[in-house]
Amino acid sequence: DIQMTQSPSAMSASVGDRVTITCRASQGINNFLAWFQQKPGKAPKRLIYAASSLQSGVPSRFSGSGSGTEFTLTISSLQPEDFATYYCLQHNNYPRTFGQGTKVEAK
Partner 1 sequence: EVQLVQSGAEVKKPGQSLKISCKGFGYSFSSYYIGWVRQMPGKGLEWMGLIYPGDSDTRYSPSFQGQVTISSDKSISTAYLQWSSLKASDTAMYYCARQDTFDIWGQGTMVTVSA
Nearest C-alpha neighbor of 47 from the set 72, 25, 26, 18: 72
| Nearest distance, CB of residue 77 and partner 1, angstroms | 25
Q: Give residue 105's region: left, alpha or beta (phi > 0; psi -120 to 50).
A: beta
Where in 34-93 is the site for partner 1 (CB under 8 A)? 34, 36, 38, 43-46, 49-50, 55, 87, 89, 91
Q: Which residues pair with 67 in a beta bridge?
A: 70
| Nearest distance, CB of residue 36 and partner 1, angstroms | 7
| Binding residues with partner 1: total (CB under 8 A) | 22
Q: Which amino acid is at 97?
A: T
User: Which positions touch partner 1 (CB under 8 A)?
Assistant: 1, 34, 36, 38, 43-46, 49-50, 55, 87, 89, 91, 94-101
